[in-house]
Structure 1
Amino acid sequence: MSRTAPARATLLYSLYCGASALIAPFAWRKVAGKLRDYGLPEDRVRERLGHASLPRPAGRLIWFHAASVGESLSVLTLIARMGEQAPDAEFLITSGTPTSAELIAKRMPPRCRHQFPPLDTAAAVDRFLAHWRPDLGVFVESELWPQMLVRARKTGCPLVLLNARLSDKSVAGWTKRPDTARFILDQFDLLVTQNRKTAANLKAMGAAPDRIRPGSNLKAVSAPLPVDQDTLAKVRGSIGERPVWVASSTHDGEEETVLEAHKALLKQHPGLCLLLAPRHPERGGKVEALVKQAGLSCARRSKGVLPGTQTQVYLADTLGEVGTWYALCPLVFLGGSLRDIGGHNPFEPMQAGAAVITGTGHYNFAETYAELTALGAAAEVRTAAELADQVAQWLEKPEVFQSARDAAAQFISRQSDQLDTTVDALLALLPHEGGCDG
């Protein structure tokens, strides 16, 4: 594939390469320790040094690199769609956490395999590239490892930054080093952004405008969260005909507001049940204490208890069950937003058919929420009183609530259409015959 020569390497990049070589033994000890503590076999631990634990498949290989769980899972739908369009293509996913590896293994599309990425040192990266010889490299969101990018590009492998998202802090840091920012971004043949703000930031950082394209947020088209039908039936049966609302992914300092809103709602809806799912289940004991302090009755999921007919709060302090709770109730408040936390993925509840209430501290999804609130698919609140009022409106006016759910479903459908455009753009960069020089 023909391309203009990239910008020259900078002194800062050279210093980074030297520093990475010096700290490599310490970085290796740390990451290896974490993987061993998780119980992984040694051949998998050594993947971080670039030693593959699987053979390279024959044919064209598309490599996806993601940071952790959310980014890794977000590409699975895209990989499945690409696999349908290019039936001869094989896929490799690299991600750094054992949790992401475990979840990917359970949901992996056909012709796909997972490895841990090499440390960003010359020796580890070169070893990785020599074995896998990717024909296309796709880096997800903001996972930019300089040597991995530069050394992959030198093999002739086209590179893509996909679902690009950069924090304001990250942008500010890069713009202070414009030559290095331009050098790193110039390794990419294509930069597909989540939103217009990221596109503008990439241009300001020195990315070539003709390589920047808008795209959908991959998390909007990920496969829906799993639902445990047995658990769903049991909880639904124990709650009965009582109305329910869900407060999901709440953080320290947010449950008090949610519980205050629930107490206000109970005055008009005495049978109402709140299903409260903290972002970090290990906080279950503290959250249970807050519920009791608020004078509300509580049943705790982690203790194997089902909600009774008088249970006012069902504390769902477990991992991996959020999809079941969204299937139980489509009226969802999504936490991480009443405080300056950045918000959480609104696409997961919407994929389950829900409409979403959020606080205003959702800066990680600011552009998405602006569109969702304009469409009526989401509602913003600031206080316990506003939260109670919004929940009450959707409980008492089913036609208004259904309209919000319909708007959310239409938004998700449009994102799926954009996914096909992204697939086409990526496959256009894939060489017709496998085997980038490695």
Structure 2
Amino acid sequence: MFTDRHTPGVASLQYDKSQINLARMRQYRLNRVKDQLIQNGYSACLLFDPMNVRYATGTRNMEVYIRRNPGRYVFIPVEGPVILFDYDNCEHLSDGVETVDEVRPALMLSYAAAAQNLKRDAKQFASDIAALMKQYGGGDRRIAVDQLPVAGHIALNKEGIKTVDAQRPVEHAKAIKSPDEIEATKISIRASEIGMTRMYQAAKPGMTENELWSILHQSNIAMDGDYIETRLLSSGYRTNPWFQECSDRTIQKGDMLSFDTDTCGPFGYYCDISRSFVIGDDPTEEQKRLYKIAYEQIQTNIELLKPGLSFREYAQKSWKIPEEFFSNRYFCNAHGSGFTGEYPIIAHAEDFEQKGYDGYFEENMVICVESYIGAKGGKEGVKLEEQMLITKNGAEKLSSFPYEEDMLR
């Protein structure tokens, strides 16, 4: 069992908060957004996605709820004040945050909130934004938006404001991390590793997948994390194919257990690592074979990472997935990470012409390298993933969580 071999982690997350200058980190991120707006020729953006709002301003408010109830957004001009439109009676949440110059009440652009008044509210929303563009947009009649509801698009167009896509500038802004962001990411990963340790120590035949997965949730919240974005834990036959979220299935002795953290941890930063292990028994030769193949894929592709390497070249040089496992391959080769999975997403070589796009790895990108190995129609599958920092000399592994030594022998 795991606890007989190694017990990584400690009982609690300990770190010096002075390691991270929150004001400096917030200002860096806001400046990155403004710089990317300039590079793309835009004078302002309007952000609704809660993660984008948090990235740009350092403020948060009921992130999961706001994703489906669009009652919070921020106006960011290249030159002029940052104006946050917040949920009713929530102005106090941004007190003392230097990246927000003004807070105003938001209009909820949803039918559930406004019903027959939606057009009226959207008209008022558009009038407010048009006035800000007139004052701070330098004559530009375009505004970059990310997840603006349809009613907002229609109303802004009636005001003579053309909406353009903010995804490119915002994703490129988020891709390059500051030293403070890197430290925050390391802390978030450390928090998840403690939760993973608790999962490993608690795992036993007879408990359900949901029971085991809940330990990571509890641990993350206890250490000031936000939430877990997915439910990607499965056992036994449910590990193949991948993406079967955890259930009330009872875990059996000898089952392969595979999971992907997808943890939004302290400071909002993402921990995205995956591990697989066998519950309550020695691994079979087949389980070892799958694990060794997944490990080989991860390690081979990690070694390739370096600044200046193109995404296309990385895909071409990456470990070749055997035909046996190809149809069940993970959807991407690697991807960026910040507050969630982010730009870039690197396709496999075989998928590159259809799904891929080119670009270059740059220093201070955080990249997650993926592997899923499970044959189509096979009994089980192995999921491994490692989170890496691109450095001037190559790549640094951010996780310290061990692999299963007895499955690599």
TM-score normalised by the chain length of structure 1: 0.31
**Structure number having the greater strand percentage:** 2
**Structure number having the greater helix percentage:** 1
